[in-house]
Structure 1
Amino acid sequence: MLFWRFFMSDQVRDMTTGSPSKLILLFTVPLMLGNVCQQLYTMVDTVIVGQIAGVQALAALGAVEWIMWMVLGVSTGITQGFAILMAQDYGAQKWRKLKQTVAHSYRLTAMTAVLLFIISQAGAYWILTLLNTPDNIIGMSLLYLRIVFCGIPVVAAYNIFASVLRSLGNSRTPLIAMVIAAIINIILDLIFVGQFHMNVAGAALATVIAQAFSAIYCFFAVRKIDIVHITREDFQTVPGLNRKLLTLGTPILFQDVIISVGGLVVQFVVNGYGFLFVAGFTATNKLYGILEMAAISYGYAIVTYVGQNLGAEKITRIKRGVRASAVLAFLTSVFISMIMFIFGKRILTAFISGDPSQTEQVLNIAWHYLSIMASVLFILYFLYVYRSALQGLGNTIIPMISGIVEFFVRVGIALFLPKLMGQNGIFYAEIAAWTGAAVLLAASYYIDIRKIK
């Protein structure tokens, strides 16, 4: 019974009182663990496919990384925007308005998912062709995308339910959902790819099924929280509410899409260097999730913390919390960088198998890229801190502009630096994009926070 109570907890957390550092850490740690699980089953896909199906299959997964990030990021971005208003309503203790916000967010999320499913399936082959995907992997890449895109409604459902929970300070339930998804995904990967030899199709199917279970779990968790237990009348149109939600969500959606488009340009350049370079680039990108996972978790914590305290009109607490978050994020980034320098090359070998001459070349490419990113990881963490603080304040325009900055810097470096220093120049596109965006976001946050009375 105690076990069941823990796993079905309807806990919410008021972040408008208590130590900012402690609250942010308590909120962040479960999210970090959840992201670890998410990265685990993403990496298991890669390890199993890379070891069993070989380098070509690994390259096929890598060729669709940014496409998936762009498409699935649409529902992630827009639901993050909806969560800002939920957190503000919760901090202001406007319970009726909170229910209406949640209900309208559900409806807008469902509409977005249907539209996204249609567009993504229609454009999958076209975008792979546009990106100059190598002929020997384009078939596998397309099959993987088709299956994963069938799970768009499932991903959207998980995103909106998890956003509701996080806006109320509940980061434990999304963690449990990710644990469930990771276990299911690993088991199904071993069955579909290892036993049934379904190749990339098996990995994609395992991922979709695992995501469905995590969405269902979060749905039942949300239903147990009284303050967001919505009724039919909560869906009745509230003048201006849809517009307000879209005003918050659309810039984040656009920010994610424009960053993804920049990533697609990088992928286009990478594809031109052949499938071995694509495989090495892919191996490191699978570790990118580990590099970034704590930053994402701090980001969710800061949005909730700032949103709740803005609703409660506690501006001094916002300043203290953001300062504390910056320090915590920096220390975390240094720790992760050290881990990568010590164990990164060994981890990369888990993704690569095949002809020894090919695997050695792929490993060298992957390690070079990983070492460059790990050396300046703290920049990415500052980017997340200040972007999330601005979003929590309700300012989603500057983060959107930072996405445009990332796009131009990433694309500019990707297109021109390799001409000066060879194909390795592509590795610096990511760090340059982080730096440009981080400078803009930090400056904008300090300007905004001084304006708030």
Structure 2
Amino acid sequence: MKKNTDLTQGKILGPLMRFTLPIMAALILQTLYGAVDLLVVGQFASPASVSAVATGSQVLYSLTVIITGLAMGVTIIIGQQFGQRREHEIGNTVGAGICLFAALSLTLTAVMMFMTPVFVRLLHAPPEAFEYTVQYVMICSAGILFIAAYNTLGSIFRGMGDARTPLIAVMIACAANILLDLLFVATFRLGASGAALATVFSQAISVVLSLIIIKKRGLAFPFSRKQIQFDRKIILRIVKMGAPCALQDLLVSISFLAITAIVNQLGVIASAGVGVAEKLCGFIMLVPSAYTQSMSAYVAQNIGAGQPKRAIKGLYYGMLTSFCFGIIMSYFAFFHGDLLSRVFAKDSAVLLASAEYLKGYAIDTLLVSFLFCFIGYFNGCGCTTFVMIQGLIGAFGVRIPVSYLMSRAADASLFHIALATPCSTVIQIVFCFWFFKWGSPYFQKKQGMRQKIIR
């Protein structure tokens, strides 16, 4: 197996970029993996099916962020163990993580089997799209176990500086999903249900083939089946690190679901338009999202190695490079949103609605270059509780109230509703800067040293 990346020595920018790029590529493919459903349905099915996939995808995303948030706890712990050169402890963390995510995925699946109609009704899915939405979510929920397996594998390898193995897994899933979408939706004309079936089967194929590849390559740390056990101490540590991330991501996702519910009341065209725009936003936000993951692993390794100053330098490099990418993505989102939207829809009214919503996100694309790097830095430091708090303030203190007020205005438009997101990001950046300068453990430690010198 290829040697993992040690991010605690040598130059910073080059290794950080080499580590980030495979994560970015994996996120591109993962976003494409989810977007293919909407793309194929948009070309071969009705606007009601487009609305169903758009709304249903938001529900599934909320479930996924619970898993990915907890998986961040695994990444942080393994990253710190790797930085401290305690590779012999990684196997126990992996074993406990497997047990935790297996139990979580089964619980979430059971909940969704009973509660999906309630959730879809709460989102005010348009009447003509209601049944399609329920079918899509129910079928996709059957694949939660595979979502958990993929994210568990990814968190393990990213913690050790290996971003290529997760990339292989998502490449397999993306290829399978494209082929199965074309089969079920374009050929068999199963609409939203066909897209959901393609999603589940491709997830299963990805996990199985990934495990075969890992078995063939071998692991870079000692591991045996005996280590797969409910180690209470390790599981509590994973939950302590990951639960704030999971809760923050979940509640932020709920805030976007609330916006979806607000928009759904404007009709099926607005619903489909925002659904298309949200899929495009998944691509637009890929670079800062990649930096969140890479920064978390980078900082965790350096904090584990006792090099906080190196971690801060990495944060600055991350912000600078992410912002450069953000300028490009913001330009296309603001000035060419209609052309981008044609990838997922052909109805002219839907295209106009999507382009209008994207203009608000174009502003946010510049801002999240800073926010997402801050979040990755604080996650790597283990300050996940603060990450949760600032996320909740942004989501429920700003994003939902502003979007609601915008929707009730006399001249309400999707652009005005979308402005709620950059408004939220500005407030979150202010909180993150304050915590970075005066509230983080590193700053407090530095202040303590200065006081000793004065004395």
Report the TM-score, using the length of structure 1 for normalisation.
Answer: 0.93
- Determine the structure 2 residue equivalent to 1:228: 221
Deviation at 1:215, TM superposition (A): 2.1
- 1:201 is aligned, of 193, 202, 206, to 193
1:192-216 deviation per Cα after TM superposition (whole angstroms, max 9, x unaligned):
1111111111111111222223223
- Determine the structure 2 residue equivalent to 1:83: 75
Q: Please state if 1:401 is matched with 2:389.
A: yes
The 10-residue stretch of structure 1 (430-439 or 265-274) with the greater mean CA deviation from structure 2: 430-439
Give the direction of change, closer, same or farther, for the CA distance of 1:232–1:41 in structure 2 (3 Å limit): closer
The 10-residue stretch of structure 1 (128-137 or 85-94) with the greater mean CA deviation from structure 2: 128-137
1:75-130 deviation per Cα after TM superposition (whole angstroms, max 9, x unaligned):
11111122100100011011222221111111111111111111122111011112
1:387-412 deviation per Cα after TM superposition (whole angstroms, max 9, x unaligned):
11000001100111122112211111
Question: What amino acid is aligned across from residue 424 of structure 2 in structure 1?
Answer: A
1:263-299 deviation per Cα after TM superposition (whole angstroms, max 9, x unaligned):
1211111111010110111111110111111111111
Structure 1 residue matching 2:419: 3-state secondary structure? helix
Q: Please state if 1:268 is matched with 2:261.
A: yes
- 2:135 is aligned, of 137, 143, 147, to 143
- Determine the structure 2 residue equivalent to 1:309: 302
Distance 2:229 2:195 in 1: 41
Deviation at 1:238, TM superposition (A): 5.2
1:40-439 counterparts in 2 under 5 A? 40-223=32-215, 224-235=217-228, 240-341=233-334, 343-353=336-346, 359-408=347-396, 409-420=398-409, 421-424=411-414, 425-439=416-430
Question: What amino acid is aligned across from residue 268 of structure 1 in structure 2?
Answer: A
Distance 1:123 1:345 in 2: 36
Question: What amino acid is aligned across from residue 245 of structure 2 in structure 1?
Answer: I
Distance 2:16 2:268 in 1: 42
Give the total of aligned pairs: 440
Structure 1 residue matching 2:421: 3-state secondary structure? helix
Distance 1:101 1:350 in 2: 42
CA-atom RMSD, angstroms? 1.8
Question: What amino acid is aligned across from residue 284 of structure 2 in structure 1?
Answer: L
Question: What amino acid is aligned across from residue 205 of structure 2 in structure 1?
Answer: F
Structure 2 residue matching 1:351: 3-state secondary structure? coil
Deviation at 1:31, TM superposition (A): 1.4
- Determine the structure 1 residue equivalent to 2:433: 442
Structure 2 residue matching 1:64: 3-state secondary structure? helix
Question: What amino acid is aligned across from residue 434 of structure 1 in structure 2?
Answer: T
The percentage of aligned residue pairs carrying the same residue is 27
Structure 2 unmatched runs, 5+: 447-455
1:215-236 deviation per Cα after TM superposition (whole angstroms, max 9, x unaligned):
2344345444444342244346
1:29-44 counterparts in 2 under 5 A? 29-44=21-36
Deviation at 1:157, TM superposition (A): 0.2
Tell me if structure 2 keeps the 8 A contact 1:77–1:253.
yes
Question: What amino acid is aligned across from residue 333 of structure 2 in structure 1?
Answer: M
Question: What amino acid is aligned across from residue 403 of structure 2 in structure 1?
Answer: A
Question: What amino acid is aligned across from residue 418 of structure 1 in structure 2?
Answer: S
The 10-residue stretch of structure 1 (157-166 or 36-45) with the greater mean CA deviation from structure 2: 36-45
Distance 2:58 2:420 in 1: 14
Deviation at 1:329, TM superposition (A): 1.0
Structure 1 residue matching 2:443: 3-state secondary structure? helix
Report the TM-score, using the length of structure 2 for normalisation.
Answer: 0.92
Distance 2:406 2:230 in 1: 52
Distance 1:327 1:45 in 2: 34
1:8-19 counterparts in 2 under 5 A? 9-19=1-11
Distance 1:22 1:322 in 2: 14
Give the direction of change, closer, same or farther, for the CA distance of 1:436–1:139 in structure 2 (3 Å limit): same
Question: What amino acid is aligned across from residue 410 of structure 1 in structure 2?
Answer: R
Question: What amino acid is aligned across from residue 406 of structure 2 in structure 1?
Answer: L
